[in-house]
């Protein structure tokens, strides 16, 4: 995708240079890049528009408009550009094990269409907090969520072995939280101290209808005159869970999520739910407030004595 964008920008730059020879090469290049950025901005704007059509009830104290919404949009646009054009293509990673690590180790599980590079900003925050962490790359991109369980299990076992810790914490973004629930269905909770999810569609999202792959079908939420209905896969996985499982979860989510809609789909009954506002979906792991909350939850889980 990054290569395609570069080719489109180069083609547009050539076209502008041909049509406007007096403009010069630098201006033509700038215009080509601006066109690509404009398309990316339009895609982000469309996501916000679609999410607004299916949005859940927004409490009055969470409502924003004007300059506040512009800041939200620009922060989400910046996060999507940085992650898709820089950190995911060039900064994917496997592990970070500080010598003076504190607390329980963490396995980072990314969401749909991403890789471990998505976590680069969060990784820096965890390094500052001296938290040991590994990251997985879920492949193939369009597989069933259940197909990722083996990869997460291997990641959990490798992290336990390298750190000597009996239990680990899963930190998951978006679809990654559903992968964690699929992992628990197969392997139970014995190896986990806590599962922290960021913007996970625990009950589905309407925007998954625009995705490709079996995993996008499994994340669907379908609106009807009677309300909404989660996918069969989501209903099946929920049927096998109980309140003891949900007590292991911390769900951090935003009332202004532009990918998870209805936004309250990220709320998991029985879990610790932390509601935010004015944070977009991709921006969740890059937001300083979210990073602070994550570190606090890791430290809280690490302070609980193992049975």
The pLDDT profile of the chain, 307 residues, written as one tens digit per residue, is 888 888 988 998 888 888 888 777 888 889 889 999 999 999 999 999 999 999 999 999 899 999 999 999 999 999 999 999 999 999 999 999 998 999 999 999 999 999 999 999 999 999 999 999 999 999 999 999 999 999 999 999 999 999 999 999 999 999 999 999 999 999 999 999 999 999 999 999 999 999 999 999 999 999 865 578 999 999 999 999 999 999 999 999 999 999 999 999 999 999 999 999 999 999 999 999 999 999 999 999 999 987 7
| Per-domain boundaries in the chain | 1-53, 95-302
> CATH number of 95-302: 3.40.710.10, 3.40.50.1000, 3.40.50.261, 3.40.50.1820?
3.40.50.1820
Q: Strands 272-276 and 249-254: what pairing?
A: parallel
pTM, two decimals, is 0.94
**H or E, element range at 83:** none
Integer Cα distance of 129 and 295 in angstroms: 7
Query: Who contacts 190 (Cβ-Cβ below 8 Å, separation ≥6)?
Result: 167
């Amino acid at each position: 995708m990054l290569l395609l964008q570069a080719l489109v920008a180069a083609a547009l730059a050539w076209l502008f240079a041909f049509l406007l020879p007096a403009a010069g090469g630098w201006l033509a290049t700038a215009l080509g890049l601006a066109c690509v950025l404009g398309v990316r901005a339009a895609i982000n704007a469309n996501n916000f528009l679609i999410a607004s059509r299916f949005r859940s009830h927004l409490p009055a104290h969470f409502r924003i408009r004007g300059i506040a919404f512009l800041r939200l949009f620009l922060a989400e646009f910046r996060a999507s550009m940085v992650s898709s054009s820089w950190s995911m293509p060039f900064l994917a990673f496997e592990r970070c094990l500080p010598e003076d690590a504190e607390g329980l180790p963490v396995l980072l599980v990314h969401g749909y269409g991403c890789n471990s590079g998505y976590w680069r900003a969060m990784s820096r925050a965890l390094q500052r907090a001296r938290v040991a962490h590994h990251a997985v790359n879920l492949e193939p991109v369009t597989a069933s969520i259940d197909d990722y369980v083996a990869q997460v299990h291997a990641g959990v076992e490798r992290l336990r072995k390298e750190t000597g810790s009996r239990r680990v914490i899963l930190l998951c973004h978006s679809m990654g939280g559903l992968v964690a629930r699929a992992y628990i269905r197969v392997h139970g909770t014995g190896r986990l101290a806590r599962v922290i999810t960021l913007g996970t569609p625990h009950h589905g999202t309407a925007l998954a209808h625009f995705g490709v792959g079996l995993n996008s079908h499994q994340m669907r939420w379908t609106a009807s005159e009677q309300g909404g209905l989660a996918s069969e896969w989501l209903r099946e996985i929920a049927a096998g869970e109980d309140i003891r499982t949900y007590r292991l979860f911390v769900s951090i989510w935003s009332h202004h999520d532009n990918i998870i809609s209805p936004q309250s789909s990220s709320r998991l009954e029985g879990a610790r739910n932390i509601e935010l506002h004015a944070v977009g979906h991709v921006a969740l792991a890059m937001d300083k407030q979210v990073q602070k909350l994550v570190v606090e939850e890791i430290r809280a889980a690490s302070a609980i004595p193992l049975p």
